[in-house]
Structure formats: C-alpha cells, structure tokens
Amino acid sequence: MKRNDVRNIAIIAHVDHGKTTVVDSLLKFSGQFKVKSDAAQDMVLDSNPLERERGITILAKCTSVDYKGNTINIVDTPGHADFGSEVERVLKMVDGAVLMVDAVEGPMPQTRFVLRKALSLGLRPIVIINKMDKPFASPSKVVDDVFDLFMKLGATDEQLDFPILYASGRDGWASKVMEEKGTDIEPVFETIMTHVPPPFANAEKPLQMQITMLDYSNFLGAIGIGRILNGSVRKGQPVALVNVKNVANPKITKAVRIDKFAGLAKREVQEGKAGDIVAISGLEGVEVGDTVCGIYDVAPLDPLSIDEPTVSIDFLVNDSPFAGREGKFLTSRHLKERLEKEAQTNVGLKVTPLDGEGRFKVSGRGELHLTILIETMRREGFELAVSSPEVIYKEKNGKLCEPMEYLTLDIDSEYQGVIFELVGKRAAKLENMVSEGENRIRLEYIIPARALIGFKNEFLTNTRGEGIMHHSFFDYLPKTNLSDLRTNGVFIAKEHGKTTAYALDNLQTSGQLFVGSGLEVYAGMIVGQNSREKDMVVNPCKQKKLTNMRSKSADDAAVLTPARIMNLEQAVEYIAPDELVEVTPTSIRLRKKALDHLVRKRSSKNESDEE
C-alpha cells in the first residue's frame, strides 16, 4: 500500500550551504508567496530571531508544497552538529533526503555527520550542488568529493547511484546539466517525484504514528508531530500514547486538534491518513519516541536512538549584589520551570537538579547547543549565573574516555606555523592536510572536545579573522593529558563602586581591561585579565588624591585602551572552574564563585594543604 500523491523528504547539509534559501525558492515556485512583503523576506523557515541573526538553522521545521496535484512535505534540518538530535529524529519520518553541498567548499564535517545518519536509515539522497553563482565554483571536483564521501560512509550500490542537480538557491534556479544555467527551480520538484519513493501506508491497519518532534500551545497543551505510518486518526478521537517503558499501561488521551503543514502555516483538518505528516494537539504527557495508537490496538514502534550529551554547564540562581536589577524572572522556581519546559521539546538536552536550592546541571550536545538556550532565556527576561563548560566522561572497556571532535580548519598557508603550534598544545592529532589552491590549505584533526573550549577566539585572532573552522562529534576515546589552557590570571574588584579612569589607567599597564570607566562593579567581579599567571585583587574605583600642587603632566587626562567586551559564548569559554558568568537581559558580567576575597584565600590554602 503506497500513497502515490505524497512525498516526504528532508533537506540536509552542512552549516551555510544553502538549505533554507533553496526551500525559499521551492515555496516561491509553488505559489506560497502571494504577497510582495512575504517574498521580500529571506529564509522564511528561520523564524526564530536567533536563527536569523546567526544565519543558522537551530530547530527542524516542516513545510508542505503542492506540485501538480501531489503533496511534498519538506523538513528543513539544522546543519550544526550541536543540534544533531533534531536531524536524527526527523529522518525517521521521511522517505528521501536532499543533500546540499556548496559548489566551492565541497563536503564539510557536518555534511559527513548528516549524510551518515541518512545512509544508515537506508535513504537514497538526491545531491544538489548549490551556490553555482559563486566565482570560484568547481562542481566537477565537488561531485567527485561527494562520491568519495558516500564510499567512505559505506553507501550501497543503490545509494551510490544518486541523481545530481546544479542550483543557485539565492537566484532560484536548478539544472540537471552542469554547464547550463536553469530558468527555475522545477527540476528539483521533478527529481523528488521520480527519485523519492512514495510512503508505505496502509489505511486499513490499526493506527500507528511515532512522535518525532514536539511543540507546545498555551491553549491546546502538548503537540506531537510525526508521520502516520498506518491507519488514520480523526479529530476528537481517543488515542493511546505508548513507549517501551509503559507498554502494559499506556496513557489514554484525546486528539483535540489535527493540523497538516501548508506552506508557511498549519491548516486544521478533520482527519489524518497513513503517509501524512501531521501535528496532533492535546497529547498530554507526550514524549519524543512515543507511538500514538488506537486504544484497542496498542502496538508500539521501535524506540528512537538519540546520541547522548557530551557537554554540561551548571545553571544557578543569580546571587550577585546586582541581582534583581535588570531581569523579571529571578527565583529558583522560575529557573526550574523554564528548564523543565525546555527539556520537554529539546530532546538532546538533559536537566539534573543538583544539591542546594536553585542549582541545575544542564547537559547538551555541545557548547553552542547550551549557549543558545542561555541566550534565549536572557531575552525572555531571566537572570541567572552559569559555570564553565565541562565534558561528560564515559567508561569503556575499563578505561575513562572523553568525547573527541573532528575538527576542520581552512586557513591561508601563511598562518600554517602558528596554527600548528596552537592545536599542538591542545593534544590534537592531524588526520589530513589538503591544498585548496589560492594559498589556502585545509587541516583535519581529531581533538578532545574540552580542548575546543576557548579555541575559536584564539584561532580567529591568529588568522586575523580569515580562518574558517568547523567541528563535529567523532567518538569517545581514552582520555588524553591536557595542560591548563588558560595561562593568565584575572583582575578581581576589591570593593563595590564605580570605576574611574585614574584607577583603570594604572591597571591597563599590567593587563587587559574588561570594563570601561564609570561602570558600576562589585567585590568579586572580574574586571580584567592579568598579564601574569596569578589572580590579583585590585581597586578599579580608586579616586585621584587632591593636593595643592599642580603640574602640567599630573593634569593630563588618562587615555584608556578600549575594554575587551565579550559576548555570551566568549564569556562562557573564557571562565575558569572557580568562576561564573552572570547573565541578565542587558548585561554579561564575569565573577568569582566566592565573592569574598578571604573566603577564596582560605579555600585555596585548604586545597594546597590537601595536596
């Protein structure tokens, strides 16, 4: 039994290889943009403000287009490995995948990551060589590289026989011939209809639908999104939610509302049939991987396998002297509710309460995965403090193992020596080195995940902003010896007050400042980086003494070097284990965990005595 009028596909690619712009072109061609103002908006599926600011897809999203009487359901997936749990789940509800590859860059680390997932599920990808309008495009070389990647990942003969299209998502065209520029994006639709198999679906069998994505509505409650494999479901029908943990005692609930995806919106329908991708509202207690069944025919599907988190950060209630000045949500109750709500829909995230009030360990797939959550919370009005990232260790065959990353660096050859030195002290192992022409080289490493904390800033500084880096999870390997990567101490404010130019002028000769003049600080707050290894308690609020004596040199105004202002990711990467980042809707401050200098001194003395 097949639904010949339906095709379900996922678009997969590396970050910034043009998934979302190609979806824009498909929506425009199918007539989804009726109003000029809609057509003027690029990347319509990147509806989250953070996605639009950063130019990346964070959440997988569904859309649907009509083509010659057929329905094509399209899932736009994230390209960054930190959001890989989104990719893994949505590939379960499609029958085909469109692999997007940049015509200049070729296959990249996340290309390998998402393609491996698709091939392991038996999908036969369609390859689109995108961004053909770039000046240095080399599509024939990229096609060879893609074929080699398929071979390395163990693709079957059927999977290796992939169709190839050449496209420019931004200009809205695709072509089946490398040398010819297309007129529109229709060849993508034609290839999908001929190459992607229709979904197997038997409407006569009992209802079976696996939940692969979650949403939430304040009016309708929990929303489960997935593909109906068998049977059908009607609005208001009682259904059973079952997973491997509660097969004997499934949850009975009701399909309050059923929506299908239609272009940029959802459309309510009375019934969903086998082969459709639908969103069912009112499924209280639903979890990713649950099977929606008929109440008299309980038949759970195999559970979804999702990769475990690799990095954790402690979230704490903000207890600094400035707490409550800038945010709306401050208490441990607010923090607990928000993290629990996030864990319901963000499957790659794990939240564990710690000892003490208002302390939670949040584990995710990477630093970016967690800092996106922190940034979202601060924009919602939360105040909180977060610790430095820690990798999650595992024991394999009696050995302590740590997560390793596959790191790719694209640099100018003139920076080769300094980059070798930079990665060398981080216990990286060189896997491959390729000349890219135009004095560019590509370096590929296997590196401990903890060695990448703070690496990006140093890398961009050493390459003068011209280097490109990407990394994705590789495997758990035996723990390596890694020396402390932060070799500088910090300046710690001695007392509460406002910084003065006079005091900062004296400090900047001994290090780098994080604050400017006239800024309010508190005791225990980090105001700069020391040029030496030890932390130093300083007074950035010191006033100039008034005397009766005057001289021209003494009255010269202090000239301050501009302070180093960090964004959230840089601050989280920078701090040491005994430090925190205070995050509020308007400010990001660095501080010590123990604000009192005497307490810090006593604890460091106790640690040295124990050693």
DSSP 104-157: TT-S-HHHHHHHHHHHHTT--PEEEEE-TTSTT--HHHHHHHHHHHHHHTT--H
Per the CB < 8 A criterion, the answer to whether 424 and 384 are in contact is: no
Of 82, 63, 83, nearest to 72 by C-alpha is: 63
Q: How many residues does the chain have?
A: 611
Task: Yes or no: say if 82 and 368 are a contact pair by the CB < 8 Å rule.
Answer: yes
Give the strand pairing for 221-230 and 429-437. unpaired
Confirm if 403 and 82 have CB atoms less than 8 A apart.
no
* Binding-site sequence positions: 16-21
CA 127, chain centre distance (Å): 24
Distances, alpha carbon 29 to alpha carbons 65, 171, 457, in Å: 9, 12, 41
Are the CB atoms for 272 and 278 separated by under 8 Å?
yes
259 within 8 A of 184, measured Cβ to Cβ: no
Alpha-carbon gap, residue 589 to 587, rounded angstroms: 6
Cα 107 to Cα 218: distance, rounded to the nearest angstrom: 42
Q: How far is CA 447 from CA 24, 101, 430, 452, in A?
A: 37, 25, 9, 8
- Annotate 15-44 with DSSP letters as a single string: TTSSHHHHHHHHHHHTT---SHHHHT-S-T
Residues at the binding site for GTP are: 16-21
**Residue 175 DSSP code:** E
* DSSP code string of 63-111: EEEEETTEEEEEEE---SGGGHHHHHHHGGG-SEEEEEEETTT-S-HHH
Residue type at position 271:
E
Phi then psi for 516, rounded to 5 degrees? -100, -175
The one-character DSSP state at 564 is -
CA 485/CA 68 separation, integer angstroms: 59
Nearest alpha-carbon partner for 281 in 343, 216, 211: 216
The backbone torsions φ and ψ at residue 376, rounded to the nearest 5 degrees and listed phi first, read -60, -45
In whole angstroms, how far apart are CA 157 and each of 54, 57, 119? 38, 32, 12
Strand order in the sheet with 490-493: 511-513, 526-530, 490-493, 536-538
Axis-axis angle for helices 19-29, 186-195 (nearest 10): 100
